[in-house]
Structure 1
Amino acid sequence: MEEIKAPPNTPGRPDMTPFPVQIPQTASGLDVVSSLLKNRVIMLANHINDEVANCITAQMLHLAAEDANEPIKLYINTPSGSVTSGLAIFDVMNFVPCPVETVCFGMAAQVGAVLLSAGTKGRRRCLPHARVMLHQPMGGAQGQAADIEIQAKELLYTRELLNQILSKTTGKPIETIRDDTDRDFFITAQQAKDYGLIDDVLDTKLGTLEVPPIASLV
Structure 2
Amino acid sequence: MLRRGPPGASGRGTGKVGEVGFRNEPVLERWAGAAPAEGAAPAAGGMGDQVFDRLLRERVVFLGQSVDDEVANRIASQLLLLAADSADDIQLYINSPGGSVSAGMAIYDTMQYIENDVMTTGIGFCASMGQFLLTAGTPGKRFALPHTKILMHQPSAGLAGTASDIRIYAEQLTRTKREAAELIAHHSGQDVETIVRDSERDRWFTAEEAVAYGLVDAVMSAPAAFPGATARQGAGFGSIAR
Name the TM tier (shorter chain).
0.7 to 0.9
Matching of residues 76-115 of structure 1 within 5 Å: 76-115=94-133
Matching of residues 65-80 of structure 1 within 5 Å: 65-67=84-86, 69-80=87-98
1:24 aligns with 2:47: yes
- Residue of 34, 45, 67 corresponding to 2:64: 45
Describe the SS at the equivalent of 2:156.
coil
- Bigger RCO of structures 1 and 2 (CA < 8 A, at least 6 apart): 2
Q: How many residues align?
A: 187
State how far apart, in whole Å, the 2-side matches of 1:135 and 1:193 are: 17
State how far apart, in whole Å, the 2-side matches of 1:204 and 1:184 are: 30
Per-residue CA distance 1:127-186 (angstroms, 9 max, x = gap):
000011000111121111110001001111111111000100001011110110000001
Give 1:9 deviation, angstroms: 3.3
Identity of aligned residues (%): 39
State how far apart, in whole Å, the 2-side matches of 1:204 and 1:149 are: 51
Q: Which amino acid aligns with 1:61?
A: L
State how far apart, in whole Å, the 2-side matches of 1:23 and 1:199 are: 36
Give 1:204 deviation, angstroms: 4.8
Partner of 1:19: none
Give 1:23 deviation, angstroms: 5.0
State how far apart, in whole Å, the 2-side matches of 1:104 and 1:129 are: 9
Aligned-residue Cα RMSD (Å) equals: 2.3
Given that residues 7 and 31 in structure 1 are in contact (C-alpha distance below 8 angstroms), is that contact kept between their aligned partners in structure 2?
no
State how far apart, in whole Å, the 1-side matches of 2:46 and 2:126 are: 22
State how far apart, in whole Å, the 1-side matches of 2:34 and 2:114 are: 29
Per-residue CA distance 1:56-78 (angstroms, 9 max, x = gap):
000000000011x2000000000
Given that residues 136 and 159 in structure 1 are in contact (C-alpha distance below 8 angstroms), is that contact kept between their aligned partners in structure 2?
yes
Partner of 2:136: 118
Give 1:125 deviation, angstroms: 0.1
**Runs of 4 or more above 2 Å deviation:** 6-11
Q: Which amino acid aligns with 1:24?
A: M
Matching of residues 134-173 of structure 1 within 5 Å: 134-173=152-191
After TM superposition, the score normalised by the length of structure 1 is 0.81
After TM superposition, the score normalised by the length of structure 2 is 0.73
Runs of at least 5 residues in structure 2 that lack an aligned partner in the other structure: 1-32, 224-242
